[in-house]
Amino acid sequence: MVDVLRSFEPPTQPRPRGAHRYDVFSLKLGRRLTLYRRSAFEAWLMLEADPAEKTFCERPGFIAVDGQRCVVDFWARFGDHECLVVLSEATPATDRPESRLDFDPEAFAVRHIDAAERAASRVWTGNWQRMQPVLVAARGLVKPSMLGAIERVSRVTPIAVDHRA
């Protein structure tokens, strides 16, 4: 099976009436994202904090859910597979932009993230939410050569921890 490298871009979308706006910076993507629901923000934290997830895109297109055309919340690529992420409160598509894809549910695995799954990961995502601003602010302070040296030393030299202190 040939692995096709896919790349998606999020559409420019006006904020839905009455919706909150979450502007976040993704370290994995190296760019700012705009999300319009708390559930999408929590799902983004889950994706951003998952080390197995390599890249993703918010709102890459549409998919049919229970016979209704809905916005796909995220497309994600892991090491060996790709999936579409649809939140339990799917957003119906109100307009049909010509440049947006209609995904075939047979071509991708579809992961439904419901409120219970987001609640179960709330401690993890809460910690990540608090660390994220520091990681973003410090991302340019460490040179890539130093990161490589740290990785090499940490693989070779075991770190002794003194528990008596």
For the stretch 62-71, pLDDT in tens is 888 777 788 8
Q: How much is the pTM?
A: 0.74
CA 112 to chain centre: 14
Between CA 164 and CA 108 the distance in angstroms is 52
Please list, residue by residue across 50-68, b when 16 or more beta carbons sit within 10 angstroms of its beta carbon and e when fewer do: beebebbbbbbbbbebeee
* Average pLDDT across the chain, whole number: 79
Contacts of 59 (CB under 8 A, 6+ apart): 10, 11, 13, 71, 72, 73, 74
As given in the structure block, the two tokens for residue 103 are 């995904």
Check pLDDT > 70 for residue 29. Answer: yes
Specify whether the CB–CB gap between 74 and 47 falls below 8 A.
yes
User: With 0-12 CB in 10 A as exposed, 13-18 as middle and 19+ as buried, what is 91?
Assistant: buried
What angle (nearest 5°) sits at the alpha carbon of residue 141, between those of residues 140 and 147?
95
Specify whether the CB–CB gap between 42 and 125 falls below 8 A.
yes
Which pLDDT does position 129 carry in this prediction?
92
Domain boundary assignment for the chain: 22-140
Which pLDDT does position 7 carry in this prediction?
56
Which pLDDT does position 152 carry in this prediction?
75
Which pLDDT does position 92 carry in this prediction?
59
The residue among 124, 23, 43 whose CA lies nearest residue 91 is 43
For the ranges 20-24, 132-136, 147-151, which has the lowest average pLDDT? Answer: 147-151
